[in-house]
Amino acid sequence: MAKTVLVTGASRGIGREIALLFAENGYSVAINYHKSINQAVALKEKINAFGGIAELFQADVGNYDEVKIMVDNIHKTFGFIDTLVNNAGISEQLLFTDIFPDKWAKMINTNLTSVYNCCHRVLPEMIRNHKGCIINIASMWGETGGSCEVHYSTAKAGIIGLTKALAKEVGLSNIRVNCVSPGVIMTDMMSAFDEQTIAQLKDETPLYRMGTPQDIANTVLFLADDKSSFITGQIIGVNGGIYI
């Protein structure tokens, strides 16, 4: 039977590419999206067109009740979720003094509490089945700290801590928890940066190019595969060497 993956925030960018690659590799894909229904439908159609299996599951992953309903529906549709990819996220550039409580709460909720929400709903079945794989998408800013992105950096650093602690707790249940920490990846998220800033980031990158969503998807697929069965609790930088 095909394995199932849940990819959060799969309507666009990195999540879309992860969903596509897993479908190409025989997984049944639960595509989570929040607002971009047209892109999500187009992705499902693309996967179905090559004979792949995918279904759409709308939910704000920052909302525990919505995640509970989503995960219950995925269990009904596909059965066991073998791999959970916590990818959904937002970013924002603001001076720390301009991050008021509403913006702080939204960032932490969407980028960090969402990871707790999804892990908390998916893990009980994984523990019962004594297998499973969780891959969280952090960011190099969670490792280095990003000026004018304190709330984003904090949320991503939290994902790194969650990954390490959870890996220790569920290893005995044969569940692996890892984290991919991207550098600069060309998606809608980078549209907030002007050309000059992007050129500067490229200059600072030893491999002298921007990352692509495929770079991240390839690493996520490897971490889901049995080929990485002795890897857990790790933070894998996929960043062209911009942070070593």
What residues are annotated to the active site?
152
238, two tokens: 């996929």
Binding segment for ligand NAP (CB under 6 A), chosen from 46-54, 82-90, 116-124, 169-177, is 82-90
- N- to C-terminal Cα distance for the chain? 40
Answer yes or no: are the C-beta atoms of 81 and 71 closer than 8 Å. Answer: yes
Stretch that binds ligand NAP, among 121-129, 167-175, 179-187, 221-229 (CB under 6 A): 179-187
Give the residue, chosen from 5, 6, 11, 71, that forms a contact with ligand NAP under the rule CB under 6 A. 11
Q: Considering the complex, what minimum distance in angstroms separates the CB of residue 41 from ligand NAP?
A: 11
CB of 174 to ligand NAP, least distance (A): 26
Nearest distance from C-beta of residue 109 to ligand NAP, angstroms: 8
Sheet with strand 132-137: strands edge to edge: 53-58, 28-33, 4-7, 83-86, 132-137, 175-182, 235-238
6 is an interface residue for ligand NAP by CB under 6 A: no
Report the run of H or E that residue 224 belongs to, with start and end.
helix 213-224
Q: Which of 136, 117, 119, 115 is nearest to 127 (CA)?
A: 119
When asked if residue 240 is in the footprint of ligand NAP (CB under 6 A), the reply is no
CA distance 240 to 211: 7
Contact between 35 and ligand NAP (CB under 6 A)?
Answer: yes
The answer to the question of residue 110 lying near ligand NAP (CB under 6 A) is: yes
- Residue ranges binding ligand NAP (CB under 6 A): 8-9, 11-15, 32-36, 60-62, 87-91, 110, 137, 139, 182, 184-185, 187-190
